[in-house]
Amino acid sequence: MDKAQILIASNRGPVSFSTAPDGALEHRRGGGGLVSGMISVATEVDGIWVCAALSDADREAAARAPGARLDLEYDLDGMRVHMLDIPEETFQGAYTGVANSTLWFLQHMMYDTPNKPSFGSEFRRRWEDYTAYNNAFAEALVAGAADGARVAVQDYHLALVPRILRSRRPDLRIAHFSHTPWAPPEYLRLLPDDIARELLSGMLGADRLGFLSPRWADAFLRCCAEILGADVDFSRRTVEHGGRVVGVGVHALGADEAELRASAADPRVAARRETLEELVGDTRLIVRVDRTELSKNIVRGLEAYRELLLAHPEWRGRVTHLAFAYPSRGDVPEYREYTDRVLRVAKEINEEFATSGWTPLVLEVNDDYPRSLASFQLADVLLVNPIRDGMNLVAKEGPVLSERDSVLVLSREAGAADELGRHALTVNPYDTVETARALHRALSMPADERRQRRERLVEAAVALAPRRWFQDQLRSLG
């Protein structure tokens, strides 16, 4: 394999494949500013992106490409991608069993602890899968990295990669970035002790660790001190471990304004917008756009809307709530149950309040990016109420595209609240009465205040474009 100076490693890559009705493989680029930001830097600086095949179509594409290098077989706009075809069972154990069902639940503090988790021998087998999966990534990076190359490892899927890489290739400069929150030690301690230590020391194989918020960085430092007994300097944010000093940095991530505006100019957005305008008529519009993700707190969001209609009957017939909840992680049973609950609560709200001329709530569960962008343009209020969230880009993208000075109702537990909180209406995501009050205040806010708040939101939201976020990480490696 040819060698690169900059390597990116992430579970979900920048391109995904699907099979067309005629059996041909089609590919499309992953959406969002993060992928674009990293691609734009990677294509400029001699980069390779290493990712996993996530579907059968991905696997087929990887198998067809020489050495699983997709760019040698498909036109990827100058981007080099090595897609790893990790055996299905190993991948499922690592991705569904450990990354999504364990690490994600821990970092978002989502366990119903009287019942879960329970770490038995089944979990140990999955941890072996996770280790094998991390080894497969490390192997590909070892093979693809030029002397002294810089490697940017992304997220909880790949926590063990930095340490494995360092032992194999001490010449490399390694960064690891967490896009999730980080749990406090009292919570990370739910993990078996040896695994918690492996996780932390796996990441500490890096030269530099990055988090989206000072809250997550500091929680990580506390875990290193209390679980590993490492020597931590909290003011300089460094950890001494295994004879090395690892720097921990905070790099917030902003919306990609140029990319967003370009996507919003697509004629499909205008078409969706017309449909939405017809749907909501002259009612005010509360919008939410999420994956159907437990941490996004969709059910409490719906309950807050219900509280609003109960506490302020004057809004009945005058407001519509558009809730987009796109399918996610259907392999995890809790997500399937949650999706059912979202549907059930939505139905109950409509049964309780709908009249012949008014549908209070429109819930859409099929993914439609142009429609999401159109809803940002039209929203009067944008509701973002996760129980915990690394950053939350919807909170940043919505204000950028808003054409009606939408007011942001934002959970204080989202990383984005660090930068946007002052200009949003912040809420405790567990308190649906407070959230309903914030919705009412947002709907009733005078035009001047809405405009001022939105201007400040946009300023804060675009301050750190993904491209800069990524360059900062590379620069921090020296």
Bond before 333 cis per omega within 30 degrees: no
Binding of ligand G6P at residue 437 (CB under 6 A)?
no
Binding of ligand G6P at residue 371 (CB under 6 A)?
no
Calculate the alpha carbon distances from 178 to 159, 284, 431 in Å.
9, 37, 28
Q: Minimum distance between the CB of residue 33 and ligand G6P, rounded to whole angstroms?
A: 12
d(CA 132, CA 431): 42
Q: Minimum distance between the CB of residue 393 and ligand G6P, rounded to whole angstroms?
A: 9
d(CA 30, CA 65): 19
DSSP 273-320: HHHHHHHHTTSEEEEEEEES-GGG-HHHHHHHHHHHHHH-GGGTTTEE
> Which residue in 69, 80, 108, 179 binds ligand G6P (CB under 6 A)?
179
> Which residue in 90, 102, 134, 180 binds ligand G6P (CB under 6 A)?
180
Bridge pairing between strands 381-384 and 361-364 = unpaired
Q: Which is nearer to ligand G6P, 12 or 284 (CB)?
A: 12
Calculate the alpha carbon distances from 266 to 374, 376, 401 in Å.
10, 14, 13
Burial class (CB in 10 A: 0-12, 13-18, 19+), 31: middle
Q: Minimum distance between the CB of residue 407 and ligand G6P, rounded to whole angstroms?
A: 25
Cα torsion at 258, 260, 261, 266 (round to 10°)? Answer: 130
Binding of ligand G6P at residue 288 (CB under 6 A)?
no
> Which residue in 12, 168, 189, 341 binds ligand G6P (CB under 6 A)?
12
Q: Which is nearer to ligand G6P, 12 or 456 (CB)?
A: 12
Binding of ligand G6P at residue 251 (CB under 6 A)?
no
Query: What single-letter amino acid sits at 238?
Result: T
Q: Minimum distance between the CB of residue 53 and ligand G6P, rounded to whole angstroms?
A: 13
Binding of ligand G6P at residue 176 (CB under 6 A)?
no
Q: Minimum distance between the CB of residue 297 and ligand G6P, rounded to whole angstroms?
A: 15
Binding of ligand G6P at residue 336 (CB under 6 A)?
no
Please report which helix (H) or strand (E) contains residue 464, including its range.
Answer: none
Q: Which is nearer to ligand G6P, 155 or 413 (CB)?
A: 155
Q: Which is nearer to ligand G6P, 153 or 457 (CB)?
A: 153
Binding of ligand G6P at residue 396 (CB under 6 A)?
no
- Interface ranges with ligand G6P (CB under 6 A): 12, 155, 179-180, 328-329
